[in-house]
Amino acid sequence: MFSEEHKRYLKSIKRNKFLVRFVQILIIVLLVVLWQLAADFNLINTFISSSPKAIVSTIISLYNDGSLFHHIWVTFYEVMASFALGTIIGILIATILWRFKFLAKVIDPYLTVLNSLPKVSLGPIIIIIAGAGTSSIILMALFISVIITIINVHQSFTNTDSNKIRLLESFKATRSQIFFKLVLPSNYNNIISVFKVNLSLTFIGVIMGEFLVSKAGVGYLIMYGSQVFNLNLVMTGIILLAIMASLMYYLILFIEKRLTK
Amino acid sequence: MDILKVKNLKKIYHTKKDEVLAVDNFSFNLKKGEFVAIVGPSGCGKSTILSILCGLDKASDGLITMDSNLTFGYMLQGDNLFEWENIYKNCLLGLELQKKVNKKSKNYVDKLLSKYGLTEFKNAYPHNLSGGMRQRVSLIRTLATKPDILFLDEPFSALDPLTRLAVSDDVYKIIKEEKKSAIMVTHDLAEAISMADRIIVLSKRPSTIKNIYEIKLANKSTPINNRKDKEFSKYYDLIWKDIDYHV
């Protein structure tokens, strides 16, 4: 059994955690209430700033005409597809560069330039090549995440503990054994942080793509809303995006827990 | 019986600016079951010699003669355990890489684990073990492939002084018990005298052999006891004078 002091210590940790969560929720509730009150008392122009009630009724009407989940699904699908492609292709190329140092040296300046290039500038070219549709959006999001994935993953692969590599070499390990036994598993944590960065980059890419070309999706809702001066729709889109992004972030946290258990 | 013969080993390092003669004219023979320590000033090329002997690095010149069936085990600084694998998997690492995991080799690992008090930690992960236990796991991992010669490259230098003393005692007993030959590089003279049958003293760069000392203690025992031997301090003074040690 714990001593009284230890019990008090545990209690204080618990209380602190509860307080943090409480204040977090309080802030969002207060903001929503203040926003609504300001709208009700005409302190703000609801045409520009919308209001919580208007957002809720927009969501309900989108739900009623059956398009709410369609838009969410389109964006979700595009994010997942480009996230998966960007991560897999990025890790694959990083692996090839780790294996072939000469190639890594050759390609290094190109990666640096591509990384600093604002990928949105590639938009028009991508649309011409891939057509004005979903594939353009996925390609654009892919471009945004894949370069940084290659750079980060390759860097962490090459930073693998050299003593451990020597140890494996002393057992006469092949390069692929070194990769699968040491390089990959020792970098799980780094790969997870790449996941996190990639997810937000992919979101940026997909929404950017939906702004440029789309017939559906949350980015489309925002774009359409701004064109017809329906700011309720714009705000609704932003709220939907915030919810989606945080849900996906928690999904990655869940995967992280499973992988690093 | 000599199981390893090294003749006129030479190593030159090439850099953009310069070429550096690291090791020159290094010759010695290793007897079966013998424990040889290599000491010398830091940066003199001790570790280079080990990596050449176990085939991780190429010599610029010289001749190394040994039986082609001879196998090596290499232990380098730190225990280098894989934190994401349990103790048992860590011990099997070398066997897995050499595709030698079978009933017989697994039994041998089990035997080593139980002999050195680690059976109950088989499924534990490295972070649950003390520094000394980790070092034992690292040694079992090396012994699992049944190497004829062990190369120890300052294996204890990451440990704190007290743990280091206990671990070197431990490792020594295991090496002797398993009747292995060993070459250890160290910068700790007392450690070398307490463990080795012979000590090779190297000069500053380019390192050549200054002297080879046969360590004949009055009552040769385990490393910790050897430090109390009356001959111990004599060897210490003698070899200390021989090392070009400048701070």
Tens of pLDDT along B115-136?
A: 888 899 999 999 999 888 898 8
Q: Are strands B198-202 and B209-214 parallel, antiparallel or unpaired?
A: antiparallel
What is the C-alpha separation between B121 and B98, in angstroms, rounded?
A: 24
Whether B82 and A173 lie within 8 Å, measured CB to CB: no
Query: pLDDT value at position A182?
Result: 95
Where is pLDDT greater, at A177 or B213?
A177
Query: pLDDT value at position A261?
Result: 61
Highest mean pLDDT among A62-76, A95-109, A221-235, B197-211: A95-109
Eight-state DSSP code of residue B152: E
Whether B94 and A166 lie within 8 Å, measured CB to CB: no
> What residues in B contact A163, CB-CB < 8 Å?
76-78, 80
Query: pLDDT value at position B244?
Result: 67
B78 residue type, one letter: G
**Complex-level ipTM:** 0.85
Answer whether B71 touches A (CB < 8 Å).
Answer: no
Highest mean pLDDT among A144-148, A153-157, A231-235, B166-170: A153-157
What is the C-alpha separation between A46 and B8, in angstroms, rounded?
A: 89
Q: Where are the domains of chain B?
A: 2-70+148-242, 81-146
What is the C-alpha separation between A178 and B107, in angstroms, rounded?
A: 25
Q: Residue A76 CA to chain centroid, in angstroms?
A: 11
B225 Cα to chain A: minimum distance (Å): 31
What is the fold, at CATH topology level, of the domain defined by B2-70+148-242? Rossmann fold (3.40.50)
pTM, to two decimals: 0.82
> What residues in A contact B73, CB-CB < 8 Å?
170
Whether B56 and A185 lie within 8 Å, measured CB to CB: no
For residue B81, the chain A residue with the least C-alpha distance is: A164
A178 Cα to chain B: minimum distance (Å): 9
pLDDT classification of B246: cutoffs 50, 70, 90: low
Contact B183, B38 (CB under 8 A): yes
Give the pLDDT mean for B191-218.
86
**For residue range A188-229, what is the model confidence (pLDDT) as tens digits?**
889 988 988 898 899 999 999 998 888 888 999 999 999 988
For residue A169, the chain B residue with the least C-alpha distance is: B56
**What number of residues does chain B have?**
247
Query: How many other CB atoms sit within 10 Å of the CB of residue A173?
Result: 21
Where is pLDDT greater, at A261 or B91?
B91
For residue B80, the chain A residue with the least C-alpha distance is: A164
For residue B150, the chain A residue with the least C-alpha distance is: A170
**For residue range B95-107, what is the model confidence (pLDDT) as tens digits?**
999 999 999 999 9
What is the C-alpha separation between A230 and A238, in angstroms, rounded?
A: 13
A175 Cα to chain B: minimum distance (Å): 11
What is the C-alpha separation between A47 and A228, in angstroms, rounded?
A: 12
Where is pLDDT greater, at B241 or A85?
A85
Eight-state DSSP code of residue B129: S
Q: Residue A238 CA to chain centroid, in angstroms?
A: 15
Whether A168 and B82 lie within 8 Å, measured CB to CB: no
What is the C-alpha separation between A176 and A161, in angstroms, rounded?
A: 16
Whether B82 and A188 lie within 8 Å, measured CB to CB: no
**For residue range A218-228, what is the model confidence (pLDDT) as tens digits?**
999 999 999 98
What is the C-alpha separation between A57 and A52, in angstroms, rounded?
A: 9
For residue A167, the chain B residue with the least C-alpha distance is: B74
B242 Cα to chain A: minimum distance (Å): 31
Give the pLDDT mean for A110-121.
90
A164 Cα to chain B: minimum distance (Å): 6
Q: Which of B74, B77, B80, B152 to mutate to test the interface with A (most CBs of A within 10 A)?
A: B80
* Dihedral angle, C-alpha A34, A40, A45, A49, nearest 10 °: 50
Query: pLDDT value at position B245?
Result: 64
